[in-house]
Amino acid sequence: MISLQTLVAEVKNLQPIPAVAGQLLAVADHPDSSMADIAKVIQYDPVITASVLRTCNSAYFGMKHPVESIKDAVNLLGVDQVIELALIKSGSQALGGSQKGYGLDAGEMWKYSVSSAILAKQVAARLSLKGKNTIFTAALIKDMGKVVLEKYVAQSSGKIADLVENQHFSFQEAEKKALGIDHAELGAMIAKMWKFSPRMVNIIRHHHLSDETKSVDKQIAAVYLADCLCMMLGGGVGSDGLAYRFKDQVMKELGFSAVDMSMIIADFGINMQEVEALLQMA
């Protein structure tokens, strides 16, 4: 078991996601926000500003005249893509390392997180859900708890494996039993300490639907379904991905069919290629 004091100290030592991410979400999900409002938030973070401008001025876009401001970038890429690039850049350092306890090499969890966020955005769009940027970001950073827990998972790997293989626990249940907390609970604690919204904290806390009554919340269900789709696609899943359970009622709650799932998977390949191309330049 890990003490709360130890966990709090570990969280304080994490590479934080810049405060601009939370500010950007607050502006982006407000119905009266303008392009100028979003540009104003981003432009005060020099690292994110430089990254977005470098992307816009890359050979990918072949601009005749250089893009010189975030306002220009928003006009070129559109609000949603600038927001996504800014959020992805915000989380890249925090999530880009290896998580050996979960069987993930450097960069694997980050790619999985970006894939999950793209899928969550597609699910949200298909359902016309509100708060699409919050859904995207929750899916992006939902596994932050693994960054802290991975070494403890490695130390308890034998016990966790026994619980999964011989006692039929899900990985998350085994994680909780062995450590006293699972990565979703810890992820929610991190999001709260970083002053993300209560809505974001709630989605991260329940993104595996260990409390199945939360499936009526369509934002939580969308992030859960995106995570399941990501596992089905197989990239960056890690050792824990083999011991999760798919909850069929989510499909019914969301009104999703097998055809919907197939179309999202088909669209995902194109969307991910575009994002990867942009990230290589960011």
Q: Give the pLDDT score at 183.
A: 94
**What is the rounded CA–CA span in Å between residue 45 and residue 278?**
19
3-state secondary structure of 230: helix
Instruction: Categorize the per-residue pLDDT at 179 as very low, low, confident or very high, splitting at 50, 70 and 90.
Output: very high
Q: Give the pLDDT score at 220.
A: 95
- Using alpha carbons, list the distances in angstroms from residue 2 to 16, 240, 280: 22, 19, 38
Whether the pLDDT of residue 281 is over 60: the answer is no
DSSP for 37-103, written as a single string? HHHHHHTT-HHHHHHHHHHHTSTTTT-SS---SHHHHHHHH-HHHHHHHHHHHHHHHHH-S-BGGGT
Q: Give the pLDDT score at 236.
A: 59
DSSP state, residue 201? H
Overall average pLDDT of the 105-117 stretch: 87
Within its chain, how far is the Cα of 142 from the centroid?
A: 5
**What is the rounded CA–CA span in Å between residue 181 and residue 194?**
19
Overall average pLDDT of the 131-150 stretch: 90
Task: Report the predicted TM-score, pTM, of the whole model to 2 decimal places.
Answer: 0.84
Q: Give the pLDDT score at 145.
A: 93
Q: Give the pLDDT score at 31.
A: 76
Q: Tens of pLDDT along 203-261?
A: 999 999 888 899 899 999 999 999 988 888 876 566 666 556 778 788 888 888 888 88
228: its two tokens:
């399941």
Q: Which amino acid is at 177?
A: K
**What domains can be seen in the chain, in order of their start residue?**
4-16+97-281 (1.10.3210.10)
**What is the rounded CA–CA span in Å between residue 45 and residue 26?**
16
Instruction: Categorize the per-residue pLDDT at 144 as very low, low, confident or very high, splitting at 50, 70 and 90.
Output: very high
The mean-pLDDT minimum among 101-115, 144-158, 220-234, 236-250 falls in: 236-250
CB-CB contact of 164 with 226 (8 Å): no
**What is the rounded CA–CA span in Å between residue 179 and residue 125?**
37
Q: Give the pLDDT score at 176.
A: 93
The mean-pLDDT minimum among 47-61, 98-112, 257-271 falls in: 47-61
Paired residues of 205 in beta bridges: none
Residue 45 CB partners (closer than 8 Å, separation 6+): 18, 20, 86
E strands, the chain, where?
A: none
For 169, half-sphere exposure in the C-beta direction (CA atoms, 13 angstrom radius) is 18
